[in-house]
Amino acid sequence: MARPRVVIIGGGFGGLHAAKALARADVDVIVLDRRNHHVFQPLLYQVAAAALSPGDIAAPIRWILRRQRNVQVWLADVTRIDTARRVVRVADAPHEVPYDALIVAAGVTHSYFGHDDWHAHAPGLKTLEDALAIRSRVLTAFELAERESDPAIQRRLLTFVVVGGGPTGVELAGALAEISRHALVKDFRAIDPETARIILVEGGADVLQTYPEPLPAFARRALEQLGVAVWTGSPVTRIEAGRVHVGGDVIEAGTILWAAGVAASSLGASLGVPLDRAGRVIVNDDLTIPGHPEVSVIGDLALFRTADGGTLPGVAQVAMQQGAHAARGSLAALARQPRAPFRYRFYGNMATIGRNSAIGDFGWMRLKGYPAWLAWLFIHIVQLIGFRNRFSVLTQWAVSYMTYQRAVRLITGAARDDA
């Protein structure tokens, strides 16, 4: 008799942890992802800001799972899920992949709140390709400014607007400030990279609003000390090529980056169950969907209601814990046992502001400034070691990050076809 098959859609934090939790189970596991690599998302902004190389924060999914003999990894673009027939459909081959249990960890993409035309002018940051495209845009802006003789155009080229004051926006703005204030300072002749304007625009009352005070206020001051202009209470009303409208103001900006909103993967809709406004799948307390104990939805794609009526944030910790839980739940479902409810353990949230400041909320303790940054560094090095060679992490990554090495400041691909 064939062993039961667990199919996992997505090789992010949720999918990977689900696969690992099935290591000793008597099942065949198939991980489907449209990319061949797992990305360590918390450091993706550093690739965009030319502080780390893609290889520093990403690794092939099959390499990460290479020792787990019951796992197969397939490069495949899943188009829909047929829960009635228990198959997953794949785009670029006439394949249907049947499953006995399914874990959907397909994640989210950018949302422009109905203004999809903004995408071309203000790229977002979700994938390695996004990060490389942003890196090329940023570096190209400095290059074009260097050979520009018109001061107005030069000023526009050296204006960077980051839309969205959540962790990604804050980290991206801080990193852009540092690259212009430190990394590039000696490389140019006609321009002074320190004069670059970095503007962080947030519609809400403050940056990092999900963190308790005094952390948001601290983050704002730290950003301002780095040279970032922080505009809060400033909803973006329109984005055109090279121009952002913020209320009545118009900023001429050569580079506009989007860190303001996400929308769930469209795969959620093919499950035929209720979704929230952002397209997330409203899951039961055991992470399954109504009527299907063999189907779990986890991570950013899932909307999980906590006992107090709140929802869980779209962070790596939640996805990882849900991945492990969904793996156990899938085994229970295969054995026709009841599935246990999921409970989230909050260990903490962190965000960095530049190279030696951060904020951390650990529930029982709040950290800010340099101690928080050291904690952040330690936690992230330890986590990276989880999927990378230890020696490689401790040398390459530390060298890349501590020094402002120029090896990552490469413009590759067609970066100059933007406005």
- Given 26, 117, 129, 249, the residue binding its own copies (CB under 8 A): 129
Nearest residue (CB) to its own copies, 146 versus 285: 146
Listed residue (320, 166, 159) closest to 228, CA to CA: 159
- Given 23, 25, 55, 311, the residue binding its own copies (CB under 8 A): 55
Does residue 389 belong to the site contacting its own copies (CB under 8 A)?
yes
Listed residue (384, 320, 393, 398) closest to 43, CA to CA: 384
Nearest residue (CB) to its own copies, 148 versus 285: 148
Q: Looking at 65-73, 199-207, 321-329, 346-354, which segment touches its own copies (CB under 8 A)?
A: 65-73
**How many contiguous H segments (helices) and E segments (strands) does the chain have?**
12, 25
Q: Looking at 253-261, 309-317, 347-355, 394-402, which segment touches its own copies (CB under 8 A)?
A: 394-402
Residue 110 backbone dihedrals phi, psi, to 5 degrees:
-70, 150
Q: Residues with Cβ < 8 Å from 281, sequence gap 6 or more?
A: 104, 264, 268, 271, 273, 274, 275, 289, 297, 301, 302, 303
Nearest residue (CB) to its own copies, 140 versus 311: 140
Which parts of 7-36 interact with its own copies (CB under 8 A)? 35-36
How many of the chain's residues bind its own copies (CB under 8 A)? Answer: 56
Nearest residue (CB) to its own copies, 317 versus 396: 396
Does residue 126 belong to the site contacting its own copies (CB under 8 A)?
no
Nearest residue (CB) to its own copies, 132 versus 208: 132
- Given 82, 87, 100, 140, the residue binding its own copies (CB under 8 A): 140
Active site residue 178: no
Q: Which two tokens stand for residue 256?
A: 């506009």
Given 171, 178, 202, 294, the catalytic residue? 171
Does residue 311 belong to the site contacting its own copies (CB under 8 A)?
no
Q: Looking at 89-97, 243-251, 282-290, 317-325, which segment touches its own copies (CB under 8 A)?
A: 89-97
Dist CA 376 CA 300 (whole Å): 22
Nearest residue (CB) to its own copies, 37 versus 325: 37
Asked if 178 and 227 count as a contact pair (C-beta separation under 8 A), the reply is: no
**Residue 368 in 3-state DSSP?**
strand
Longest dimension (CA), the chain: 74
Q: Residues with Cβ < 8 Å from 49, sequence gap 6 or more?
A: 135, 138, 172, 175, 176, 178, 179
Please measure the distance between the N-terminal and C-terminal CA atoms of the chain and give it in whole angstroms: 60
Does residue 62 belong to the site contacting its own copies (CB under 8 A)?
yes
Nearest residue (CB) to its own copies, 97 versus 318: 97
Q: Looking at 71-79, 229-237, 262-270, 279-287, which segment touches its own copies (CB under 8 A)?
A: 71-79
Q: Looking at 3-11, 91-99, 204-212, 271-279, which segment touches its own copies (CB under 8 A)?
A: 91-99
Residue 309 φ/ψ region, left for φ over 0, alpha for ψ in the -120 to 50 degree band, beta for the rest:
left
Does residue 2 belong to the site contacting its own copies (CB under 8 A)?
no
| DSSP codes joined into one string, 64-109 | HTTT-TTEEEEE--EEEEETTTTEEEETTSS-EEE-SEEEE---EE
| DSSP codes joined into one string, 40-64 | -GGGHHHHHTTSS-HHHHEEEHHHH
Does residue 368 belong to the site contacting its own copies (CB under 8 A)?
no
Q: Looking at 4-12, 166-174, 245-253, 405-413, which segment touches its own copies (CB under 8 A)?
A: 405-413
- Given 102, 103, 108, 132, the residue binding its own copies (CB under 8 A): 132
Dist CA 180 CA 143 (whole Å): 12
Does residue 203 belong to the site contacting its own copies (CB under 8 A)?
no
The partner residues of 33 in beta bridges, in order of sequence, read: 75
Q: Which two tokens stand for residue 326?
A: 């969904």
Nearest residue (CB) to its own copies, 45 versus 304: 45
Does residue 93 belong to the site contacting its own copies (CB under 8 A)?
yes
Smallest distance from its own copies to CB 85, Å: 19
Residues binding its own copies (CB under 8 A): 35-37, 53-56, 58-60, 62-63, 66-67, 69, 71-76, 92-93, 95, 128-129, 132, 139-140, 143-144, 146-147, 186-190, 388-389, 391-392, 395-396, 399, 403, 405-413, 416
Catalytic residues: 171
